[in-house]
Amino acid sequence: MLETVRCNLCGADDTIPVMEIDGFYIVRCRQCGLVYVNPRYRPEILQEIYTETYYDHDGINNGLEFFGYENYVADEENIRATFAKRLRTIERYVPRGRLLDIGCATGFFLDLARNGGWEVMGTEVSAFSAHYAREKLGLDVRMGTLSDLHFADQTFDAVTMWDVIEHVPDPLGELKEVGRILRDGGIISIITPDVDSWVARWLGNRWEEFRRVREHIYFFSRRTMTETLRKAGFEVLKIESADKVFYLGPALHRLKYYTWDGVLTRATTRFVYKLGLDRVRINVNPFTKMAVYARKQA
Ligand SMILES: [Zn+2]
């Protein structure tokens, strides 16, 4: 069920443990600084995690079994608002053309990009999500991992991988494959947890991204992400902390997963719901993930 791996970035087998969570070790490569889970579930076990329950799972409420998204579909309006902003950033770097969203989930981003004039396609490993994207939104979504799908060379102008690379067993190989299917000058956009963020440093083993240790097997910093992209043939154009649109009520609720499960937080949350402000939309930067934009070098 478990496998032991070498460093994906530099190939060394030289690590120090960073922390242990639920029997899994998060380690740091002493040669290049990459942080990863080792040993970890074999890829075929990971695939089994991404079923329908992944996108509507109450596990996030028990504070231990952190995985999946709480009512991903119910949060559609906020997800779309978050994605619209990221699309505008991509469009600053590359003219509209063909876009591939790897791990497209229920297809909200692809739908948005299509409405904005892009020709879109998605990949997804979850049958539930792929079915939703095809049936409800009429999108072209291919089931499987990127390497299974064998797209032709230089097919796309932009490739997006949001909340995906930390799940991928071979990130460097995956990015090289993205480089092959992007045209020269094409853009990749990656969102992934930032292991060097102050939130990660401050929360340590209480950080939600670390708690998802079964499915999150790589924890990049801005430096290791830049280096991995460089090795795969990309030049980083921009790295920023990723912001996100939330409803005020659920955002306050989520504070309890951090350290603010105090009387004041609970009172404020009740007050907000009482006033009917829980569905007010706010743009929050939790300073916990990085948004990376990089260009394929010719
Ligand atoms: Zn290394």
Residues 230 and 203: beta-carbon distance below 8 Å: no
pTM summary value: 0.84
User: If you measure from the C-alpha of residue 129 to the centroid of ligand 1, how many angstroms do you get, rounded to a whole number?
Assistant: 34
Closest by CA position to 182, among listed 155, 218, 212: 155
User: If you measure from the C-alpha of residue 290 to the centroid of ligand 1, how many angstroms do you get, rounded to a whole number?
Assistant: 20
User: If you measure from the C-alpha of residue 237 to the centroid of ligand 1, how many angstroms do you get, rounded to a whole number?
Assistant: 23
pLDDT of residue 65: 35
User: If you measure from the C-alpha of residue 186 to the centroid of ligand 1, how many angstroms do you get, rounded to a whole number?
Assistant: 27
Query: Long-range contacts: 89-93, Cβ < 8 Å, 24+?
Result: 89/189, 89/238, 89/291, 89/293, 90/158, 90/160, 90/187, 90/189, 90/293, 91/116, 93/187, 93/237, 93/293, 93/295
Tell me the sheet residues that pair with 239: 292
pLDDT of residue 273: 78
User: If you measure from the C-alpha of residue 35 to the centroid of ligand 1, how many angstroms do you get, rounded to a whole number?
Assistant: 8
pLDDT of residue 212: 86
pLDDT of residue 143: 93
pLDDT of residue 156: 98
Q: How far apart are CA 51 and CA 57, in angstroms?
A: 10
User: If you measure from the C-alpha of residue 232 to the centroid of ligand 1, how many angstroms do you get, rounded to a whole number?
Assistant: 15
Task: Kindly list the averaged pLDDT for each block of 10 residues, start to end, along the chain of length 298.
Answer: 96 97 96 97 77 47 37 70 92 97 93 97 90 94 92 98 95 98 98 92 88 91 98 97 72 64 72 74 75 96
User: If you measure from the C-alpha of residue 32 to the centroid of ligand 1, how many angstroms do you get, rounded to a whole number?
Assistant: 4
DSSP-derived 3-state class of residue 153: coil
Q: How far apart are CA 14 and CA 298, in angstroms?
A: 33
pLDDT of residue 195: 96
Residue 73 backbone dihedrals phi, psi, to 5 degrees: -70, -35
User: If you measure from the C-alpha of residue 291 to the centroid of ligand 1, how many angstroms do you get, rounded to a whole number?
Assistant: 22
Q: How far apart are CA 35 and CA 57, in angstroms?
A: 27
User: If you measure from the C-alpha of residue 149 to the centroid of ligand 1, how many angstroms do you get, rounded to a whole number?
Assistant: 28
Q: How far apart are CA 84 and CA 87, in angstroms?
A: 5
Q: Which residues surround ligand 1, an ion (CB under 5 A)?
A: 7, 9-10, 12, 29, 31-32, 34
Residues 247 and 281: beta-carbon distance below 8 Å: yes
User: If you measure from the C-alpha of residue 165 to the centroid of ligand 1, how many angstroms do you get, rounded to a whole number?
Assistant: 17
User: If you measure from the C-alpha of residue 13 to the centroid of ligand 1, how many angstroms do you get, rounded to a whole number?
Assistant: 8
Residues 82 and 245: beta-carbon distance below 8 Å: yes
Residues 9 and 32: beta-carbon distance below 8 Å: yes
User: If you measure from the C-alpha of residue 295 to the centroid of ligand 1, how many angstroms do you get, rounded to a whole number?
Assistant: 23
User: If you measure from the C-alpha of residue 15 to the centroid of ligand 1, how many angstroms do you get, rounded to a whole number?
Assistant: 8
User: If you measure from the C-alpha of residue 230 to the centroid of ligand 1, how many angstroms do you get, rounded to a whole number?
Assistant: 14
Q: 234 in the Ramachandran plot: left (φ > 0), alpha (ψ -120 to 50) or beta? A: beta
